[in-house]
Amino acid sequence: MFGVSPSVAAVQAEKIFRREGINNILELGSGQGRDTLFFAQAGFYIKALDYSHAGIESINKKANSSGLFKFITAKKFDVRKKLPFSDNTFEGCFSHMLYCMAFSTEELEFLSNELLRILKPGGINIYTVRHTGDADYGIGNHKGEDLYETNGFIVHFFSKEKIERLSNGFEIVNIENFEEGNFPRKLSRVTLKKL
Amino acid at 168: N
Task: Convert the pLDDT of each residue in 86-140 to its tens digit.
Answer: 999 999 999 999 999 999 999 999 999 999 999 999 999 999 999 999 999 999 9
User: Residue 27: which of 137, 136, 149, 7 has the closest Cα?
Assistant: 7
- Report the residue count for the chain: 195
The structural domains of the chain, with segments of one domain joined by +, span: 8-194
The structural architecture, per CATH, of the domain 8-194 is: 3-Layer(aba) Sandwich (3.40)
- What predicted TM-score, i.e. pTM, was given to this entire model? 0.96
- What strands, in cross-sheet order, belong to the sheet with 119-130? 72-76, 45-50, 24-28, 90-96, 119-130, 185-194, 170-180
Task: Convert the pLDDT of each residue in 74-89 to its tens digit.
Answer: 999 999 999 999 999 9
Query: Roughly what angle, to the nearest 10 degrees, separates helices 34-41 and 53-65?
Result: 30
User: Residue 188: which of 174, 171, 172, 176 has the closest Cα?
Assistant: 176
